[in-house]
Chain A
Amino acid sequence: QSVLTQPPSVSAAPGQKVTISCSGSSSNIGNNYLSWYQQLPGTAPKLLIYENDKRPSGIPDRFSGSKSGTSATLGITGLQTGDEADYYCATWDNSLNTWVFGEGTTLSVL
Protein backbone atom coordinates (compact mmCIF):
# COMPACT_ATOMS: atom_id res chain seq x y z
CA GLN A 1 0.00 0.00 0.00
CA SER A 2 1.42 3.32 -1.08
CA VAL A 3 1.36 6.37 1.19
CA LEU A 4 -0.11 8.38 -1.69
CA THR A 5 -3.30 7.00 -3.21
CA GLN A 6 -4.04 7.25 -6.92
CA PRO A 7 -6.66 5.49 -9.02
CA PRO A 8 -5.11 2.56 -10.91
CA SER A 9 -6.49 3.68 -14.23
CA VAL A 10 -8.49 6.37 -15.98
CA SER A 11 -9.72 6.62 -19.54
CA ALA A 12 -11.35 9.10 -21.85
CA ALA A 13 -11.82 9.78 -25.54
CA PRO A 14 -9.49 11.92 -27.64
CA GLY A 15 -10.18 15.60 -27.16
CA GLN A 16 -11.83 15.08 -23.80
CA LYS A 17 -10.62 16.00 -20.33
CA VAL A 18 -9.48 13.72 -17.53
CA THR A 19 -8.42 14.24 -13.94
CA ILE A 20 -6.17 12.06 -11.79
CA SER A 21 -6.35 12.35 -8.03
CA CYS A 22 -3.61 11.89 -5.47
CA SER A 23 -4.55 11.61 -1.82
CA GLY A 24 -2.16 11.75 1.10
CA SER A 25 -1.90 13.17 4.59
CA SER A 26 -0.62 16.11 6.59
CA SER A 27 2.83 14.54 6.78
CA ASN A 28 3.26 14.63 3.01
CA ILE A 29 0.93 16.48 0.64
CA GLY A 30 -0.52 18.62 3.41
CA ASN A 31 2.79 20.27 4.19
CA ASN A 32 5.01 19.87 1.15
CA TYR A 33 5.04 20.68 -2.52
CA LEU A 34 3.70 17.95 -4.80
CA SER A 35 5.05 16.99 -8.21
CA TRP A 36 3.66 14.90 -11.06
CA TYR A 37 5.55 12.70 -13.51
CA GLN A 38 4.59 11.22 -16.86
CA GLN A 39 6.10 7.89 -17.84
CA LEU A 40 5.52 6.97 -21.45
CA PRO A 41 5.89 3.26 -22.26
CA GLY A 42 9.51 2.14 -22.11
CA THR A 43 10.86 5.52 -21.03
CA ALA A 44 12.04 7.23 -17.86
CA PRO A 45 9.64 9.38 -15.86
CA LYS A 46 9.45 12.99 -16.94
CA LEU A 47 8.57 15.98 -14.78
CA LEU A 48 5.11 17.23 -15.68
CA ILE A 49 4.08 19.49 -12.79
CA TYR A 50 6.17 20.86 -9.93
CA GLU A 51 5.40 22.85 -6.79
CA ASN A 52 1.74 21.75 -7.02
CA ASP A 53 0.74 23.70 -10.11
CA LYS A 54 3.75 24.85 -12.12
CA ARG A 55 4.65 23.51 -15.55
CA PRO A 56 8.27 23.12 -16.68
CA SER A 57 9.28 24.70 -19.92
CA GLY A 58 8.00 22.65 -22.83
CA ILE A 59 5.02 21.13 -21.04
CA PRO A 60 1.83 22.25 -22.81
CA ASP A 61 -0.84 24.09 -20.89
CA ARG A 62 -3.19 21.14 -21.49
CA PHE A 63 -1.60 19.80 -18.31
CA SER A 64 -2.49 21.43 -15.01
CA GLY A 65 -2.05 20.71 -11.34
CA SER A 66 -3.81 21.77 -8.19
CA LYS A 67 -3.62 21.01 -4.49
CA SER A 68 -6.06 21.40 -1.66
CA GLY A 69 -5.25 20.25 1.84
CA THR A 70 -3.97 16.69 1.68
CA SER A 71 -5.06 15.98 -1.90
CA ALA A 72 -3.90 16.98 -5.33
CA THR A 73 -5.23 16.67 -8.84
CA LEU A 74 -3.65 16.44 -12.25
CA GLY A 75 -5.82 17.62 -15.11
CA ILE A 76 -5.29 16.91 -18.78
CA THR A 77 -7.46 18.55 -21.43
CA GLY A 78 -7.63 17.98 -25.17
CA LEU A 79 -6.52 14.38 -24.73
CA GLN A 80 -4.26 12.94 -27.40
CA THR A 81 -3.26 9.35 -28.01
CA GLY A 82 0.29 10.41 -27.19
CA ASP A 83 -0.83 11.15 -23.64
CA GLU A 84 -1.26 7.43 -22.97
CA ALA A 85 1.17 6.83 -20.13
CA ASP A 86 1.53 6.15 -16.44
CA TYR A 87 1.25 9.19 -14.21
CA TYR A 88 2.78 9.41 -10.73
CA CYS A 89 2.41 11.94 -7.95
CA ALA A 90 5.26 12.36 -5.47
CA THR A 91 6.40 14.37 -2.48
CA TRP A 92 8.44 14.15 0.69
CA ASP A 93 6.96 12.59 3.80
CA ASN A 94 8.02 14.39 6.97
CA SER A 95 7.12 11.49 9.26
CA LEU A 96 8.66 8.67 7.23
CA ASN A 97 11.61 10.88 6.27
CA THR A 98 11.53 9.61 2.71
CA TRP A 99 10.21 10.47 -0.71
CA VAL A 100 6.85 8.86 -1.38
CA PHE A 101 5.28 8.12 -4.74
CA GLY A 102 1.74 7.29 -5.65
CA GLU A 103 1.19 3.83 -7.11
CA GLY A 104 0.68 5.35 -10.53
CA THR A 105 -2.33 5.83 -12.77
CA THR A 106 -2.49 4.41 -16.27
CA LEU A 107 -4.21 6.74 -18.71
CA SER A 108 -5.93 5.22 -21.72
CA VAL A 109 -7.11 7.45 -24.53
CA LEU A 110 -9.78 5.41 -26.23
Chain B
Amino acid sequence: QVQLQESGPGLVKPSETLSLTCSVSGDSIKNSFYYWSWIRQPAGKGLEWIGRIFPRGNTNYNPSLKSRVTMSVDTSSNQFSLRLTSVTAADTALYYCARELGSRRYYFDSWGQGTPVTVSS
Protein backbone atom coordinates (compact mmCIF):
# COMPACT_ATOMS: atom_id res chain seq x y z
CA GLN B 1 0.00 0.00 0.00
CA VAL B 2 1.65 3.21 -1.15
CA GLN B 3 1.83 6.13 1.27
CA LEU B 4 2.68 9.74 0.52
CA GLN B 5 3.79 12.30 3.08
CA GLU B 6 4.30 16.00 2.45
CA SER B 7 6.81 18.05 4.40
CA GLY B 8 8.10 21.59 4.40
CA PRO B 9 7.84 24.98 6.07
CA GLY B 10 4.36 25.98 7.08
CA LEU B 11 5.11 29.69 6.79
CA VAL B 12 6.68 31.49 3.85
CA LYS B 13 7.22 35.23 3.44
CA PRO B 14 5.77 37.07 0.45
CA SER B 15 8.08 37.15 -2.58
CA GLU B 16 10.08 34.20 -1.27
CA THR B 17 10.17 30.60 -2.48
CA LEU B 18 7.94 27.81 -1.20
CA SER B 19 9.65 24.42 -1.10
CA LEU B 20 7.89 21.16 -0.30
CA THR B 21 8.89 17.52 -0.45
CA CYS B 22 6.75 14.42 -0.84
CA SER B 23 8.15 11.20 0.56
CA VAL B 24 6.82 8.03 -1.04
CA SER B 25 6.77 4.67 0.71
CA GLY B 26 5.39 1.33 -0.41
CA ASP B 27 6.27 1.87 -4.07
CA SER B 28 9.24 3.04 -6.10
CA ILE B 29 8.99 6.50 -7.54
CA LYS B 30 10.73 5.04 -10.59
CA ASN B 31 7.70 2.85 -11.33
CA SER B 32 6.80 3.73 -14.90
CA PHE B 33 3.09 3.10 -14.32
CA TYR B 34 2.71 6.29 -12.28
CA TYR B 35 3.18 10.03 -12.37
CA TRP B 36 3.60 12.22 -9.30
CA SER B 37 1.58 15.39 -8.80
CA TRP B 38 1.18 18.39 -6.56
CA ILE B 39 -2.33 19.72 -5.93
CA ARG B 40 -3.38 22.55 -3.66
CA GLN B 41 -6.56 23.69 -1.95
CA PRO B 42 -7.09 27.14 -0.42
CA ALA B 43 -9.15 27.06 2.73
CA GLY B 44 -12.81 26.56 1.92
CA LYS B 45 -12.16 26.30 -1.81
CA GLY B 46 -11.67 23.67 -4.48
CA LEU B 47 -8.72 21.72 -5.79
CA GLU B 48 -6.09 23.15 -8.15
CA TRP B 49 -3.54 20.98 -9.93
CA ILE B 50 -0.07 22.50 -9.82
CA GLY B 51 1.89 20.05 -11.93
CA ARG B 52 3.36 16.59 -12.23
CA ILE B 53 6.67 14.88 -12.70
CA PHE B 54 7.31 11.66 -14.54
CA PRO B 55 9.72 8.99 -13.31
CA ARG B 56 12.35 10.07 -15.82
CA GLY B 57 12.13 13.65 -14.58
CA ASN B 58 10.14 15.34 -17.32
CA THR B 59 7.32 17.57 -16.14
CA ASN B 60 3.94 19.12 -16.93
CA TYR B 61 2.88 22.30 -15.16
CA ASN B 62 -0.41 24.13 -14.85
CA PRO B 63 -0.11 26.98 -17.37
CA SER B 64 -1.38 29.44 -14.77
CA LEU B 65 1.59 28.65 -12.50
CA LYS B 66 4.18 27.49 -15.00
CA SER B 67 6.43 30.55 -14.76
CA ARG B 68 6.88 30.04 -11.01
CA VAL B 69 6.92 26.25 -10.62
CA THR B 70 9.74 23.74 -10.65
CA MET B 71 9.41 20.08 -9.77
CA SER B 72 12.17 17.57 -9.29
CA VAL B 73 12.53 13.93 -8.34
CA ASP B 74 15.11 12.25 -6.13
CA THR B 75 14.96 8.56 -6.92
CA SER B 76 17.62 7.68 -4.35
CA SER B 77 15.40 9.03 -1.56
CA ASN B 78 12.11 8.08 -3.25
CA GLN B 79 10.95 11.67 -3.00
CA PHE B 80 9.76 14.39 -5.29
CA SER B 81 9.70 18.11 -4.65
CA LEU B 82 7.93 21.34 -5.47
CA ARG B 83 9.39 24.83 -5.67
CA LEU B 84 7.07 27.80 -6.14
CA THR B 85 8.77 31.16 -6.46
CA SER B 86 7.61 34.71 -5.77
CA VAL B 87 4.77 33.62 -3.52
CA THR B 88 1.90 35.87 -2.50
CA ALA B 89 -1.01 35.50 -0.13
CA ALA B 90 -2.91 33.83 -2.99
CA ASP B 91 -0.55 30.85 -2.65
CA THR B 92 -1.74 30.17 0.91
CA ALA B 93 -3.30 26.72 0.78
CA LEU B 94 -3.20 23.10 1.84
CA TYR B 95 -0.72 21.38 -0.47
CA TYR B 96 -1.19 17.73 -1.39
CA CYS B 97 1.04 15.34 -3.24
CA ALA B 98 -0.68 12.54 -5.12
CA ARG B 99 0.04 9.55 -7.33
CA GLU B 100 -1.53 9.51 -10.78
CA LEU B 101 -2.06 6.49 -12.97
CA GLY B 102 -0.27 6.85 -16.28
CA SER B 103 -1.21 5.82 -19.80
CA ARG B 104 -4.02 8.39 -19.97
CA ARG B 105 -6.09 6.63 -17.35
CA TYR B 106 -6.45 9.97 -15.54
CA TYR B 107 -7.02 9.37 -11.90
CA PHE B 108 -5.20 9.94 -8.61
CA ASP B 109 -5.28 6.76 -6.59
CA SER B 110 -3.28 7.87 -3.55
CA TRP B 111 -2.98 11.19 -1.78
CA GLY B 112 -0.87 12.52 1.04
CA GLN B 113 -2.59 13.99 4.07
CA GLY B 114 -1.68 17.51 2.96
CA THR B 115 0.54 20.17 4.47
CA PRO B 116 -0.67 23.72 5.17
CA VAL B 117 1.33 26.62 3.83
CA THR B 118 0.69 30.20 4.84
CA VAL B 119 2.24 33.12 2.99
CA SER B 120 2.62 35.99 5.40
CA SER B 121 5.24 38.40 6.63
Chain A residues close to B by CB (< 8 Å): 2, 32-35, 37, 43-47, 50-51, 56, 88, 90-92, 96-104
Contact = CB atoms under 8 A, between A and B. Distances in A.
Contacts of B111: 44-46
Contacts of B108: 35, 37, 45, 47, 90
A50 B47 contact: no
Contact of A32 (B63, B96, B106): B106
Interface of B: 37, 39, 46-49, 60, 62-64, 96, 101, 104-114
Given A90-B47, A98-B63, A44 B105 contact: no
Nearest to A102: B46
A88 B49 CA distance: 13
B107 A32 contact: no
Contacts of A32: 104, 106
Contacts of B101: 50
B46 A101 contact: yes
